[in-house]
Structure 1
């Protein structure tokens, strides 16, 4: 079994070398050593890597998929080692900790890709917002995975005082809901589900759960979807939440659902 793993590891590195262009004397090279029947990934060049500025001109991307891909790329590169020295330290720790070779191989591959980017550019939120502006439901789903710390870091907001931090946190939360609503009324199922789940715990307008909006958005999604799995998720949440609202609130939820359906219909006509 160890021989099989060893062979696969060697093949993976060979494929990496084939995939990328042959490096010059200043490029990064990777090698593997074999000690005690184990595979050791090693960085073979001792020169520090200089990041290459990556063009992000406004007209460089066209589709929401391209903007979303760029956002994911910047976000992934942000957590990787930035220099050859950092990578060597990471590889030593990874080998000592017995990390799976597949994981190490993935980091090496992504490190090569990130060399083509500006390591100082941490603002993955900007292209992500552009993807949402262009109608990407997948971008909304990614937006909801961003932690407060990630957002603050990307926007250079880590050194704020307490009052400013609270203000920016509220601003970020409201932005998530507003952008999600804009995609939801266009039929974005992930945006609808995120709103339904979000309003169960927090409404940025009040700071409290909003069961009325949970029912309204769930009912809206139920009326427009053709996705059985999505339907079942929404219906489960709706039925559970209906127990927490009275007759008047149900009536208001029904009115909100109708308004959402009207906006959805307008979007369908315009597109």
Structure 2
């Protein structure tokens, strides 16, 4: 019975996604298309090896740094701004944040005007249709010292997914904060594509010596996916952020959105119940571990 329910969910979700994305093509790669994203910092689509090489390059020390004693993040799948009230909720919840990580962010939403005091935006485009472009975006109060993006493809639908990788200077430490903003592949029978996406992230994080935040919509709607995610994160020394008021979006009783960290202590973690998306936003306050 459980298998039948799951298969039905996947089937109708896939049909709906195909209908909604019938005009979508592949990842945006042309320079002319990327120039349309004025005000957003974009990085070329690269392999995990290329991203690792880029992150390993020496670079000038940034004068602007995130306060290592007060790192507050907001993570939210904002559902392309399809529900009413998203702008007010985003303005309210982004106040006082160091980083805002959004999935299903649409260019047409003019997001920079709705995010409080986080002027730098690293955008990783994924889907494109004749009217809009969506992907994942990481807003920050300081400019990232480096930014690269990884791509994946939905096995059933052939549509792209993006992972945003950014790195920031921190106060009172020589180490930098690496932030991974991910929207994981969703519709697949097996775990091959899911493992591949997680392995790319693991390759990057295994080389990074500083603190880490991995956050996003991980689409852990079945036990096998959840176990794969937890195993991958634990093998890298990352801990799950737990919420006392756990109002995260669930499917089959399992939360889809997660935040993991390494080298940081959790000061506060809250999930907000909203009607402005089908996912509830999460805020977490961190401090550099002593």
TM-score by length of 1: 0.25
Q: Which has the higher contact order (CA 8 A, sep 6+)?
A: 2
More strand by share: 2
More helix by share: 1
Q: Which has the larger radius of gyration?
A: 1
TM-score by length of 2: 0.24
